[in-house]
Structure 1
Amino acid sequence: MELKRPKMSNPVHFLAFGFGSGLAPIAPGTFGTVAAMPIWWLCAQLPLWGYLAVTAAVIAVGPYLCGKTSDDMHVHDHPGIVWDEIAGLLITMIAVPITLWGALAGFVAFRVFDIIKPWPIGWLDRRVAGGLGIMVDDLLAGVYAAVVVQLLIWQLPTLFT
């Protein structure tokens, strides 16, 4: 089955598809996470409250962006919808030092949890519908990944400075 293409001139589709990164022919979720890295880097320059405010805003608009795009395309959770990866990575990267090791640890941890979907991530992914359903697994993967990255920072502080 050939998937429908979004209307990239539609700002909702453009954002839901991660500024076009979700159009990648393979691994769109990974490309969406790659697109989230510069967003993380820019937001990480803010004070923590600013970072958290941006992250909260990304999460708040996510169900609408993902749900509307999914409805417009008549496909539930189109693989190219990657706004959820952006939100999940921002959760993962809360208070992570802006270093190469911080970026790599967060990227890898988030992708691992997003792909393997340990309980209850996979369970929620199968049971929650609509825009929230598209978002929820990545939000929780971001929380799991954040815990792992913070434990790494705590255990190996010199690696992350």
Structure 2
Amino acid sequence: MTADAIAAPPRRASAAFMLGHPARWIALGFGSGLSPWAPGTVGTLWAWLAFLWLDRWLDDAGWAVALLVAFAVGWWACTRTARDLGSADPSAIVWDEVVAFWIVLWLVTPAGFWGQAVAFALFRLFDAAKWGPVRWADRAFKGARGEPPGWAQGFGILFDDLVAALCTLLVVALARWL
């Protein structure tokens, strides 16, 4: 067995690690993914605050473009950062929560604070519990054990959160319909 065939142990994300490459800034949610407690939740809270700030300047067309760019750049950033960390879906990568929750907020707006809070709670529930289609999406793009993360795993990091966002939006739509 060659040294290349032996997978390096996963690295731990830190502020110094994040500062090492621009992709890491993005993937780690500008530091929100470094939270020692529930980085996915902290990243989603950061996404909420960033949405409220950006929403002052973006109309629907602006949000559509911003989300497409955030997804494309995020795919690259998540892939690169996962590879650098040596893990297919490190918990410190939270850009997936950011993009997915921006989609949720964009589509539930003009919901007020409480409507957004319910959307936040539902999104976090679907993302963390990984029920049904979210579990399938989470497993669909995992690589083989020890395989370095590639573009498929980078897409997978984003994909399960997009499915969690879809589940959240379905529950919100059903609640409004009933």
Report the TM range for the smaller structure's normalisation. 0.7 to 0.9
Q: Match of 1:139?
A: 162
Identity rate of aligned residues, in percent?
A: 36
Amino acid at match of 2:97: E
Q: Quote the offset at 1:98 in angstroms.
A: 5.1
Counterpart CA distance in 1 for 2:126 and 2:54 is: 23
Aligned length: 155
Contact 2:10–2:87 (8 Å) recurs in 1: no
Counterpart CA distance in 2 for 1:78 and 1:13 is: 12
2:114 maps to 1:101: yes
* 13 and 53 in structure 1: CA distance in 2 versus 1, 3 angstrom threshold: same
Contact 2:51–2:102 (8 Å) recurs in 1: yes
Counterpart CA distance in 2 for 1:56 and 1:98 is: 23
CA-to-partner distance for each residue in 1:102-151, whole Å, 9 max, x for gaps?
A: 32022111101101222222112112131011111001111111222344
Contact 1:17–1:82 (8 Å) recurs in 2: yes
What TM-score comes out, normalization by structure 1 length? 0.86
Contact 1:125–1:137 (8 Å) recurs in 2: yes
CA-to-partner distance for each residue in 1:60-117, whole Å, 9 max, x for gaps?
A: 2222111100101112211000000001101211232252113202211110110122
Counterpart CA distance in 2 for 1:44 and 1:59 is: 17
2:113 maps to 1:90: no
Q: Quote the offset at 1:154 in angstroms.
A: 5.2
Cα RMSD between the aligned structures? 1.9
Q: Quote the offset at 1:42 in angstroms.
A: 2.6
Q: Match of 2:46?
A: 35
What TM-score comes out, normalization by structure 2 length? 0.79
Counterpart CA distance in 1 for 2:11 and 2:40 is: 15
Q: Quote the offset at 1:27 in angstroms.
A: 0.7
Q: Quote the offset at 1:32 in angstroms.
A: 0.5
Contact 2:10–2:85 (8 Å) recurs in 1: no
- Aligned equivalent of 1:22, options 33, 43, 52: 33
Contact 1:91–1:143 (8 Å) recurs in 2: no
Unaligned runs of 5+ in 2: 1-8, 143-152
- Aligned equivalent of 2:62, options 50, 67, 70: 50
The range that moved more, 5-14 or 62-71, is 5-14
Partner SS state of residue 4, structure 1: coil
2:24 maps to 1:13: yes
Q: Quote the offset at 1:3 in angstroms.
A: 4.7
